[in-house]
Structure 1
Amino acid sequence: MVQYNTKDWITFIFRFHKADTFRLLLPLMIFIGIYSGFIGYLEVSYLNLPENSYVRNIGAMHGMLGFVISLLLVFRTNTAYDRWWEGRRMWGSLVNNSRNLAMKLSVILRDEHDRAYFRKAIPGYASILNKHLKNEETGLSLFEGLDLKIDHEKHRPNQVAKMMFEKINDLYNSGKITGDQLIILNSEIQSFTDICGACERIKNTPIPYSYSAFLKKFIFFYVMTLPFGYAFTLGYYVVPVVVFIFYVLASLELIAEEIEDPFGDDENDLPTKKISENIKKHVGEIL
Structure 2
Amino acid sequence: MHSYSTKDWLSFIFNFHKSDTFIKLIPMMLGIGIYAGLVGYLEVEHWKLGSDHYLRNFNLMHNLLGFVLSLLLVFRTNTAYDRWWEGRRLWGSLVNNSRNLAMKIASVSANEHDRAFFRKAISDYAFVLNAHLKDEETSKQLFDDLDLEIDHHKHKPNQVAKTMMERANEMYREGRISGEQLLFINPELLSFTDICGACERIKNTPIPYSYSAFIKKFIFFYVITLPFGYAFSLGYLVGPIVIFIFYVLASLELIAEEIEDPFGTDENDLPTQKISENISKHVAELI
- AA at the equivalent of 1:255: I
Normalising by the residue count of structure 1, what TM-score does the alignment of the two structures yield? 0.99
Offset at residue 52 of structure 1 (A): 1.7
Q: Which runs of 5+ in 1 are unaligned?
A: none
Distance 1:82 1:253 in 2: 15
Distance 2:64 2:152 in 1: 49
Q: Secondary structure at the match of 2:71?
A: helix
Offset at residue 51 of structure 1 (A): 2.1
Counterpart in the other structure of 1:176 = 176
Matched, 1:32 2:32: yes
Distance 2:185 2:194 in 1: 15
Q: Secondary structure at the match of 1:150?
A: helix
- AA at the equivalent of 2:240: P
- AA at the equivalent of 2:139: G
Once the two structures are superposed, the pairs formed by residues 127-276 of structure 1 within 5 Å of their partners are 127-276=127-276
* Identity rate, percent: 71
Q: CA RMSD in A?
A: 0.7
Where has structure 1 moved over 4 Å in runs of 4 or more? none
Matched, 1:115 2:115: yes
Normalising by the residue count of structure 2, what TM-score does the alignment of the two structures yield? 0.99
Q: Secondary structure at the match of 1:147?
A: coil
Counterpart in the other structure of 2:55 = 55
- Judge which range, 47-56 or 158-167, deviates more: 47-56
Q: Secondary structure at the match of 2:58?
A: helix
Offset at residue 153 of structure 1 (A): 4.8
Contact 2:36 2:238 (C-alpha < 8 Å) held by counterparts = yes
- AA at the equivalent of 2:277: E
Q: Secondary structure at the match of 2:225?
A: helix
Contact 2:219 2:249 (C-alpha < 8 Å) held by counterparts = yes
- 1:140-170 per-residue CA deviation (whole Å, 9 max, x = no partner) reads 0111131212245500000000000000010
Q: Which runs of 5+ in 2 are unaligned?
A: none
- 1:172-211 per-residue CA deviation (whole Å, 9 max, x = no partner) reads 0000111111122222110110000000000000000000
Distance 1:103 1:151 in 2: 35
Counterpart in the other structure of 2:16 = 16
Counterpart in the other structure of 1:278 = 278
Distance 1:194 1:144 in 2: 24
Matched, 1:67 2:67: yes
- AA at the equivalent of 1:238: V
Equivalent residues, number: 287
